[in-house]
Amino acid sequence: MSRLYSGTAQLFQNNVLNESTPLSTIKYLGAMIQGRLATEELETINDFVNYFVNDSTAEINDKLSRLTFNARANQCVPTTGPKVRAFLVANGHAPDADLVVGYHVSDTNKFAFNVLRNILRYAQFHPNEFYYPHALNALPKAHGARPAAAAYCPCFSSRPACDQFPNSCEWKIEGKNGLCVPVNKRTKGFEGRNSFTGQKLSTRRRERRLRDKKGGAVYVDHWRIPNIPLNPYPWPHEEEEEEEIPRTRRRVRRENEQKEKKGESKRS
């Protein structure tokens, strides 16, 4: 049993959390996430659990990702703190060095995603504690921590800036794009939203296949380029707007020819 889940289970066992607990009282669920929960008419833990009944693992992951999607996903924001100071020292700088370090914001709020996932996991093991108990399908994996290099390296937007952190980062070029990436090839990135690929791709072949997919992300040496806006995606109950196809002269002429053929077939 993971320490993260055991903490959630303990809250249920101590009756700090139960099926009637308002979601608005749960830690890590900020105003934006609360707004999304309210839009889906999810007020209590019991509402939340029943929201996922009969969903597949992919559908559960999809809903959790949408609920916890970061407003500044895939952006770099300036950051400070003990982890940044440790990162500076690891690369030969003073902990108070006057260097700007950016943080590559993940697609989803990791803490909110894991808290909500752990509530579902508890419901999996204790269905009789909830109204209308049903079996939940297998859950997606919890979102793990990532090393400092994955969080900070991609936010150095030039080779000179990247070269100041040689123990953690290196500059890579692919086509017209350059990116500062972690030196350690085994470094893990953040998880992607829904079925979209996350911060790091597993293979070069997969990278080429997904580069121009619907998610809108672009990669260099397996790592996602930050500050490129991700394409929005609707909720399951929302309809996607059909893309308007420009009516070129050639297309208009072809449409007129088709109309003429239909008219001739009717006359014959």
For the stretch 221-251, pLDDT in tens is 889 999 887 766 555 444 333 333 444 555 5
pTM, to two decimals: 0.79
Q: What does the alpha-carbon distance between residue 242 and residue 234 come to, in Å, rounded to a whole number? A: 12
Spell out, as residue ranges, where the chain has pLDDT lower than 70: 1-6, 132-134, 195, 203-216, 231-255, 257-268
CA angle 85, 90, 93 (to 5 degrees): 65
Q: What is the pLDDT of residue 13?
A: 86
- For residue 189, what are the CA distances in angstroms to 18, 27, 36, 116, 169? 34, 24, 26, 21, 14
- Between strands 219-220 and 223-224, the pairing is antiparallel
- Between strands 169-174 and 102-104, the pairing is unpaired
| pLDDT, tens digit (0-9, with 9 covering 90-100), for 58-102 | 899 999 999 999 989 999 999 999 999 999 999 999 999 999 999
Q: What is the pLDDT of residue 196?
A: 73
DSSP per-residue string spanning 54-74: T--HHHHHHHHHHHTB-TTTT
Q: What is the pLDDT of residue 218?
A: 84
CB 153, CB 180: distance < 8 Å:
yes
Q: What is the pLDDT of residue 242?
A: 36
Q: What is the pLDDT of residue 4?
A: 53
Q: What does the alpha-carbon distance between residue 199 and residue 106 come to, in Å, rounded to a whole number? A: 8
Q: What is the pLDDT of residue 238?
A: 43
Q: Can you name the residues that pair with 174 across neighbouring β-strands?
A: 177
Q: What is the pLDDT of residue 32?
A: 92
Q: What is the pLDDT of residue 5?
A: 58
